[in-house]
Structure 1
C-alpha cells in the first residue's frame, strides 16, 4: 500500500505581480506561507500517527518553503529535487505575463506536440519537461515508504499524475491535470491489484475560500 500526497505550492509573488513563473525563483507571499501551514495541518490529519513519511520537493523557493512547513510538522528532512520544477520558460521568466502571451506559439491541435517550439528562446519543450518529472517520479517510487509527500508546481502536476498512472510519455502531449495553487492531490496504490488510483485531484478544502490559481 502506498499513498502519494501531491501538493502544488500556494500563492507566490509571481502570482500577484503578474509575471511569468517557470524557473523564476519567486518566494511565497505571506498568504502563501499561511496556506502552507494549512496544507501541513491537513496532511497531518490524513496521515496516521507513527506512519513513516517522506517529503520530496522542487528546489525553488516557493516549493521548498512549502516543504519546510510539512517537514517540520512530520519531523523529517525534505529531499529537494530540481527535476520537480515547473516548466522552464527561458527568456520569459520573470517578465510580465503579457510579454509571454504576445510571443507564445501554441501547439498544433493535430501533429507533433511534445517537441513543439513555443517561440520562446531557452524554453523547455513539453518532452524535456515530461522526461525530467518522470525520472524524478521513478526515483521517488524506488522507496517503499507508505506515505510520500511531493511538493511541486501546477504545471508539473500533470506529469506527476501521468507518470503515476504509467501513461507513456509519447501519449502525454494532450494530458492536462489542472489544480489550483495550494491544492492536494491524492494518489493511491493498493496491495492486491497494484492499481494506481487517482483518489482526488486538486483538493483545496483546507484553504477555505482564499486561494490563487
Structure 2
C-alpha cells in the first residue's frame, strides 16, 4: 500500500503563490495539518480502523500492519511534514529526490491567478509544455512512475511529496494522461491511498483531510 501525503501549508500556499523548488518552511497551519495526518495514520495503522472524523477514508488495512518506510521529498516543507508524521509513528524518514516538486522556473513566486491568465490553456493540455527554465508534467511523470513499481511491492510506504508528483502518480495509477491531473483538487495536509500492485493499482482514497473540520 502506498500512502501519498501532501505536505502541510506554507505561507506561499496561503497566498496562492507558485512555490516549486523554493524551499519554504511550514507555517503554523501546516504544522497542524502534518500533526493531524500523523495522528490519523497512527490510529489507522495501529487499529486497522479509520478515525471517525473522516468517514470517506479507506478501512481495508489490517490492524498492526508494519510501516515499511516514511519517504520524503528533499524540500524543507515536505521533510518537516515527514518528520512530524515519523515522530508520531516511530519511524525515521528517508529522502527520495524523485518526490521533489515540479520546477516552475521563472514562474516561481508568481501568483497562481497570474499564470492562469497567461498560459493555462497550453499548460493544461500539453504534457511537454514547461515554464521558462522549468519542468514539464511529462518530466514529472517520468521520474515518479517507477515509484509505483517499487513501493506497491511493500506493505506500507508513506510518501510525503507535493501536488504535482502526487497527481502524476495518481493519473499513472488510474491509467490517465498526466494532463488530467488538472481535474483533481489536492489540498495541503491531504492523504491519497493507492493499493493493489504495480500491474493493477487501485486508488482507494483521495484528498483525505484528517484535520478536524476539513473534509
The TM-score, its normalising length taken from structure 1, stands at: 0.79
Task: State the SS of the aligned residue for 2:163.
Answer: coil
Question: What is the number of equivalent residue pairs in this alignment?
Answer: 196
Q: 1:172 to 1:16 in 2, by over 3 A?
A: closer
Per-residue deviation, 1:131: 0.8
Residues in 2 aligned to 1:181 and 1:151: alpha-carbon distance in whole angstroms: 11
TM-score norm. by structure 2 comes to 0.79
How do 1:1-213 and structure 2 match up within 5 A?
3-48=1-46, 49=64, 51-101=66-116, 103-104=118-119, 106-107=121-122, 113-117=126-130, 120-141=131-152, 144-165=153-174, 167=175, 171-175=177-181, 176-189=183-196, 195-204=200-209, 206-209=210-213
The change in CA–CA distance for 1:80 and 1:44 in structure 2 (over 3 A counts) is: same
Give CA deviations for 1:4-35 in whole Å, capped at 9, x if unaligned: 11111121121123421111112110111111
Cα distance in 1 between the residues matched to 2:168 and 2:123:
20
1:33, 1:108 → 2: CA distance?
A: 31
Q: Do 1:161 and 1:177's aligned partners in 2 also have CA atoms closer than 8 Å?
A: no
Q: Offset at 1:209?
A: 2.8
CA contact (8 A) 1:20 1:100 kept: no
Which moved further from structure 2: 49-58 or 151-160?
Answer: 49-58
Contiguous gaps of at least 5 residues in structure 2 = 47-63
**Structure 1, unaligned runs of 5 or more:** none
RMSD over aligned Cα atoms? 2.6
